[in-house]
């Protein structure tokens, strides 16, 4: 990166310190005397769990990955952190919105509609760490999977949440809602659970307002 493109030190520090700020807030509420009962590793583990839960609830992490398909093959390895498919870009440039299904349902469709093998994929299913495309692609090529993801890296002082920054308060409150009852502070836990739910509702609304739709994706940007 050239000198003219470097981030200002303060901006870099702000990005790297998100987890630390969340951690410090949580520890300040728990109190330093609780470190034996609630070690730092447990705090970061719960922070990670809450951030994943937020990603599930809001579908706030969107990623894409190229998939090399083989004619007649249904199953392909899931991308890292795959949670739910958004849509699939095929070699023609079309964006397909596939219907999620279960393998039992796919097998029923396979029996009832034998000529479905001549169609483009219209369903996807998950099986043993893989994504199934049905009907299977009829020609080899490169597809692009656009998907909603879950965080795959454990949080630490040097690893910040993959969720947007405006969800950090929800993480703080969600962590405290989980940890305070361990200290016998159930009422405080309930209070922070309510704070978490309020922040979750705000996060859902805020993300929904900025969420991209398939027609906003430009093919030359992929």
pLDDT digits (tens, 9 = 90+) for 59-76: 999 999 999 999 999 999
Average pLDDT over residues 30-43: 94
Q: Are strands 75-77 and 130-134 parallel, antiparallel or unpaired?
A: antiparallel
Residues 170-206 have pLDDT tens digits of: 999 999 999 999 999 999 999 999 999 999 999 988 8
From the centroid of its chain, how far is CA 66?
A: 18
CA dihedral 152, 157, 161, 162 (to 10 degrees): -60
Task: For the chain, give the mean pLDDT.
Answer: 86
Q: Please, what is the end-to-end C-alpha distance for the chain in angstroms?
A: 22
Whether the pLDDT of residue 80 is over 60: the answer is: yes
Closest by CA to 188, choosing from 199, 177, 198, is: 177
- Higher pLDDT residue, 33 or 119? 33
- What's residue 108's pLDDT? 87
- What's residue 76's pLDDT? 96
| Reported pTM | 0.78
Distance CA 63, CA 149 (A): 7
Distance CA 122, CA 136 (A): 9
- What's residue 34's pLDDT? 94
In the sheet where 75-77 sits, what is the strand order?
75-77, 130-134, 123-127, 99-100
**Which segment of 12-21, 44-53, 71-80, 147-156 scores lowest on mean pLDDT?**
12-21
- What's residue 159's pLDDT? 93
Distance CA 59, CA 149 (A): 7
What's the pLDDT band for 27 if we cut at 50, 70, 90? very high
As beta bridge partners, residue 143 has 67
Whether the pLDDT of residue 212 is over 70: the answer is: no
What's the pLDDT band for 117 if we cut at 50, 70, 90? low
Whether the pLDDT of residue 144 is over 70: the answer is: yes
Each as own residue / partner, the long-range contacts of residues 20-28 (CB below 8 Å, 24 or more positions apart, any chain) are 20/157, 21/168, 22/47, 22/161, 22/168, 22/171, 22/172, 22/175, 23/47, 23/157, 25/172, 26/172, 26/175, 26/176, 26/179
- What's residue 114's pLDDT? 60
What's the pLDDT band for 37 if we cut at 50, 70, 90? very high
- What's residue 110's pLDDT? 80
């Amino acid at each position: 990166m050239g000198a003219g493109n470097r981030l200002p030190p303060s901006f870099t520090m702000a990005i790297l310190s998100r987890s630390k700020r969340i951690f410090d807030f949580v520890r300040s509420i728990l109190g330093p005397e609780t470190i034996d009962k609630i070690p730092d590793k447990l705090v970061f583990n719960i922070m990670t769990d809450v951030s994943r839960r937020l990603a599930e609830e809001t579908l706030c992490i969107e990623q894409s990955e190229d998939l090399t398909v083989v004619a007649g093959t249904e199953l392909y390895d899931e991308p890292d952190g795959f949670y739910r498919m958004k849509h699939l870009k095929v070699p023609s440039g079309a964006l397909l919105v596939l219907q999620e299904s279960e393998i039992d349902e796919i097998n029923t469709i396979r029996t009832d509609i034998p000529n479905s093998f001549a169609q483009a994929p219209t369903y996807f299913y998950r099986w043993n760490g893989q994504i199934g495309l049905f009907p299977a692609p009829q020609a080899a090529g490169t597809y692009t999977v656009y998907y909603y993801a879950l965080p795959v890296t454990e949080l630490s002082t040097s690893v910040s949440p993959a969720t947007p920054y405006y969800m950090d308060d929800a993480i703080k409150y969600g962590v405290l809602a989980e940890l305070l009852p361990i200290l016998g502070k159930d009422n405080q836990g309930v209070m922070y659970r309510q704070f978490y739910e309020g922040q979750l509702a705000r996060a859902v609304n805020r993300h929904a307002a900025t969420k991209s739709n398939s027609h906003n994706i430009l093919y030359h940007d992929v």
